């Protein structure tokens, strides 16, 4: 692959590396996972949109997360499915399409952090200042925070990808299952010092603000719960916080593994697999966690399911 030359804006993408014997099982497994991600996340979006009782700040933030999960999975999984049955030497991709996929992949990762930061703030207000929760977390506030989360992520990623797109290219091979920022600027023979500096700053700011805000928020919540003798309050806090923390930990660990594996070139195949899992595991697990742990959502899903079953029986 590395010695092959292509003309114009056509690149050669490594894609998902599978043997001929495992191609069909890999395709079926990945297709089922993608189907589950889309159905579960879209169902949660529809449920929150149509059920008036769920149009509260916490559930509207779940709405944002489900949109982002469906978006992130759709940017990566369908091209992977296509590449499974395409010979490696014929996995061509246009440069513009590659840059757009990289943009979508990084926007998904950034929005995951910013939305979860807002969710942590929502839990902080609900538990530490419950009497003012309705006054603070209004629909206008939630809308403003959601717009902020997506806008900040969008601008940061536009700059990130823009710095790579500006470079001239002397290579045509993407040694990765899908296009991302690192594979874009590695196509160039120019100096990528600016890209590395901004990329490092982008990572530090995003992860630092995410980890810092979530840590401080939950330390404050823990202090309030320890001082409180209200068992009902503590149980409710534990339930809602455990859900948010589970989602955050899954997302953070999936992304952190990729960053660590970048330091070990001989584990490149493991890093490539981890990069795929980052777009598969969190989107698949988030709606399961929401559905099982959030009582209101679980009840609405059960009512909707039994209602449909009764209607079909008639």
pLDDT at 292: 60
* Number of CB atoms found within 10 A of residue 12's CB: 21
Instruction: For residue 153, give the nearest of 197, 218, 106 by alpha carbon.
Output: 106
Tell me the CA end-to-end span of the chain in Å, nearest whole number.
60
**Distance (Å) of CA 30 to CA 78, 80, 93, 200, 203:** 9, 9, 21, 32, 29
How far apart, in whole angstroms, are the C-alpha atoms of residue 52 and residue 61? 15
Detail the DSSP E strand segments found in the chain: 10-13, 92-94, 173-174
Confidence (pLDDT) at 145: 92
- CA–CA separation, 61 and 19 (whole Å): 41
Instruction: Give residue 147's pLDDT.
Output: 94
Report the 3 state secondary structure along 45-77.
HHHHHHCHHHCCHHHHHHHHHHHHHHHHHHHHH
Q: What is the pLDDT along the chain (314 residues), one digit of tens a residue?
A: 444 444 558 888 887 778 778 889 989 999 999 999 998 888 888 888 887 777 788 888 888 989 999 999 999 999 999 888 888 888 888 999 999 999 999 999 999 999 989 988 888 888 888 888 888 888 899 999 999 999 999 999 999 999 999 988 888 888 888 898 988 988 988 888 999 899 889 988 998 898 888 888 888 887 877 777 777 766 766 766 777 777 788 777 877 777 777 667 777 777 778 888 888 888 888 877 776 656 666 666 666 656 655 555 55
Cβ-proximal residues to 205 (8 Å cutoff; 6+ apart), any chain: 156
């Amino acid at each position: 692959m590395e010695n092959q030359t292509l003309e114009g804006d056509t690149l050669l993408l490594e894609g998902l590396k599978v043997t001929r014997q495992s191609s069909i099982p890999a395709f079926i497994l990945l297709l089922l996972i993608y189907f589950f991600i889309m159905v579960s996340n879209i169902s949660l979006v529809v449920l929150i949109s149509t059920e008036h009782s769920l149009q509260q700040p916490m559930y509207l933030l779940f709405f944002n997360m489900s949109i982002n999960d469906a978006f992130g999975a759709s940017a990566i999984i369908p091209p992977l499915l296509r590449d499974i049955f395409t010979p490696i030497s014929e996995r061509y991709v246009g440069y513009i399409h590659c840059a757009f996929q990289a943009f979508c992949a990084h926007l998904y990762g950034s929005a995951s952090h910013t939305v979860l930061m807002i969710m942590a703030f929502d839990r902080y207000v609900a538990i530490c200042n419950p009497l003012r929760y309705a006054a603070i977390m209004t629909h206008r506030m939630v809308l403003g925070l959601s717009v902020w989360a997506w806008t900040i992520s969008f601008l940061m990623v536009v700059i990130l990808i823009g710095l790579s797109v500006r470079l001239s290219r002397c290579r045509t091979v993407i040694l990765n299952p899908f296009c991302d920022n690192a594979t874009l600027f590695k196509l160039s023979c120019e100096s990528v010092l600016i890209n590395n500096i901004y990329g490092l700053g982008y990572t530090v700011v995003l992860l630092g603000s995410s980890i810092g805000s979530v840590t401080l928020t939950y330390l404050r919540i823990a202090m309030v719960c320890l001082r409180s003798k209200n068992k009902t309050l503590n149980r409710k806090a534990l339930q809602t916080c455990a859900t948010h923390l589970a989602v955050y930990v899954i997302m953070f660990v999936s992304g952190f593994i990729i960053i660590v594996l970048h330091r070990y070139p001989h584990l490149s195949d493991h890093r490539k697999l981890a990069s795929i899992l980052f777009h598969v595991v969190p989107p698949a697990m988030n709606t399961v966690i929401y559905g099982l742990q959030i009582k209101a959502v679980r009840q609405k899903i059960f009512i909707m399911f039994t209602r449909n079953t009764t209607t079909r029986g008639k």
